[in-house]
Chain A
């Protein structure tokens, strides 16, 4: 039956993949099939966003991890032979994708940021970053399905088409795994949204203490911006929520202005600010890599420069 298959573990990404999958399915001239396990979702909505078919998986039993679906999905794919299989890039789904690809003996383009269907060669050409973001590699799969994981927010969700319909097919099978989910700890929802912010003040490990975040907060405040950070600040020091770190494995942002303070500017970080309109860096090391990707840089100690800058901006605003 072939077709384009999509799978994601959250509503927003399902809509993003439906939009990207729909236009790809049209290019290839095939149907769009959504794998789904959540029965509470209104499937009608997914039809209106472009799905031709929903393949409904059995419900998870208590304590079963998502990975329990791997054998079932792989068997169904072996039978139905999808042409393309796009999977959302959440942590759980990345595991699913790699293990399903292994079972299907096919390739997987991880963290695919763009793709294009080559009509002459009838293949999907997929782009992804390598070497921390220094390069972009384009790959094609020589085996089927042609698989990719897609980072969240790579594609915009489409708009619903009233009255568009599709059919639902349930698949059954035993769900068995030796792995047990003992506990799920939800994290408190932070209300920061650095992706929407026009001005982002980003702190790096140049900051010595957590209290010193105040310096960044004050600067962000006078500029009407948000405070973001590098990966180690969020993941190692836990000074700021994980949603606020920028880069290859974090957020990609497009603000009017980015100010990096005490940020070294490793490529894995700066790929996240490639589309910032203006980049400013404050670092005491004149050879820091951040200066090579900044429009303007101040060489100096952030503990002196930042308060001065904040004060100067305040004065300017007042005048």
Chain B
């Protein structure tokens, strides 16, 4: 029966990011945070595999102390326990650091047969943490997976590749990154939310890990991307349609 670690990240909600007027700077002053979209598929897959094969599922996240807010949400989606690896210096971590911190935390105290990560995170979308973590732990890995089966001591997975699908057999322990189409995340009900509040949360601090995690990349700048558009809205109805036909004619797509 597999012991599964599902990983999730607390990310800024990009819909709240504003461009500072008249500049190409981004303002993150008023942003909300949430569990990264594809990590919900990751949490769901952990829960689903447990339903199918038994075993246990825990959640793991790395973040600043404020990321604690993500934990109850994550726990309402399946895991029986959460590991929260935290330090005030854990803001703006690059994937190499996040993976190294997770590897240190897992090696120090979490037993597992399978680690599941989302394909990429909603903020950076670097798609590196999963494969880097596997490499650090020295375990096999499969990425961009949309189907997982466990047979004996192996995971049989379907990986999406450009020219089709590759079916791989990975001996456990292994790491898998999942695509959003692997499942449809359940919407936690009141009962799940209440139960989540009672589940254990283990905090692991930087001191506990007793290591430093240095970046490899230096961010030189971040600029807003801009899209200048006319933004003219019209109502449905014959007038709007006629106007649209005029627009299309002017654009040269109908003659």
- The residues of A with any CB-CB pair to B shorter than 8 Å are 10, 65, 67, 70, 90-92, 94-95, 98-99, 101-103, 105-111, 125, 128-143, 177-187, 198-199, 222-225, 231-232, 235-236, 238, 242, 248-249, 256-257, 266-267, 270-271, 274, 277-280, 286, 289, 291-301, 304-305, 308-309, 312-313, 316-317
Given contacts A101-B132, A141-B217, contact A296 B222 (CB under 8 A): no
For the complex formed, measure the closest distance between the CB of A171 and the CB atoms of chain B, giving whole angstroms. Answer: 20
Residues of B within 8 A of A (CB): 12, 14-15, 17, 26, 94-96, 99, 120, 122-128, 130-132, 134-136, 140-144, 156, 159-171, 179-181, 184, 215-225, 227, 229-238, 240-245, 247-249, 251-255
A295 in contact with B231 given A135-B223, A177-B140 (CB within 8 Å): yes
Asked if B99 and A312 sit within 8 Å, CB to CB, the answer is: no
Instruction: Evaluate contact between A298 and B240: CB separation under 8 angstroms.
Output: yes
CA distance A99 to B103 in the complex (A): 14
Pick the residue among B14, B142, B233, B248 that contacts A291 (CB under 8 A). Answer: B233
Q: Tell which of B96, B123, B252 has the most Cβ of chain A within 10 Å.
A: B96
The answer to whether A135 and B17 have CB atoms under 8 Å apart is: yes
CB distance from B91 to the nearest CB of A (A): 14
A301 to chain B: closest residue by CB: B236
Q: Is the interface of B mostly helix, strand, loop or mixed?
A: mixed
List 11 contacting pairs A-B, 8 Å CB cutoff, sorted by A: A94-B143, A105-B216, A107-B215, A110-B124, A130-B123, A141-B217, A179-B168, A236-B180, A280-B247, A296-B232, A296-B234
Of the candidates B94, B215, B225, the one whose C-beta lies within 8 Å of that of A134 is B225
Minimal beta-carbon separation of A309 from chain B (angstroms): 6
Contact of B168 among A181, A187, A231, A280 (CB under 8 A): A181
> Given known contacts A107-B96, A184-B166, A256-B252, is B234 in contact with A312 (CB within 8 Å)?
no
A278 lies within 8 A of B233 (CB): no
B133 to chain A, nearest CB (A): 9
Cα–Cα, bound, A200→B236 (Å): 21
Beyond A107-B215, A183-B167, 10 additional pairs, beta carbon < 8 A: A102-B132, A135-B17, A187-B165, A235-B181, A236-B180, A267-B15, A274-B225, A279-B229, A280-B248, A309-B244
Of B135, B230, B234, the residue contacting A98 (CB under 8 A) is B135
In the assembled complex, which residues on chain B have CB atoms less than 8 Å from the CB atom of A128? 126
Q: Does the CB pair B163–A108 fall under 8 Å?
A: no
Q: Which of B168, B179, B180, B223 contacts A136 (CB 8 A)?
A: B223
Alpha-carbon distance A138/B193, docked complex (angstroms): 40
The answer on a CB contact under 8 Å between A179 and B135 is no
Dominant secondary structure of chain A at its interface with chain B: mixed
From the candidates A70, A256, A293, A312, name the one contacting B242 in the complex (CB within 8 A).
A312
Asked whether A139 lies within 8 Å of B219 as measured between CB atoms, the reply is yes
| Closest beta carbon of chain B to A100's beta carbon, Å | 9
CB pair B180 A235 closer than 8 Å: yes
Q: Which residues of A contact B160 (CB under 8 A)?
A: 91, 242
Chain B CB within 10 A, most for which of A135, A277, A279 = A135
A288–B72 Cα gap in the complex (Å)?
A: 30
Residues in A with CB closer than 8 Å to B143 are: 91, 94-95
Given contacts A180-B168, A223-B253, A256-B253, contact A137 B222 (CB under 8 A): yes
Report A262 CB to chain B, min CB distance, Å.
Answer: 13
B163, closest chain A residue (CB): A186
Residues of chain A lying within 8 A (CB to CB) of residue B238: 308
Residues of A within 8 A of B253 (CB): 198-199, 223-225, 256-257
- In the complex, the answer to whether A133 meets B225 with C-beta atoms within 8 Å is yes
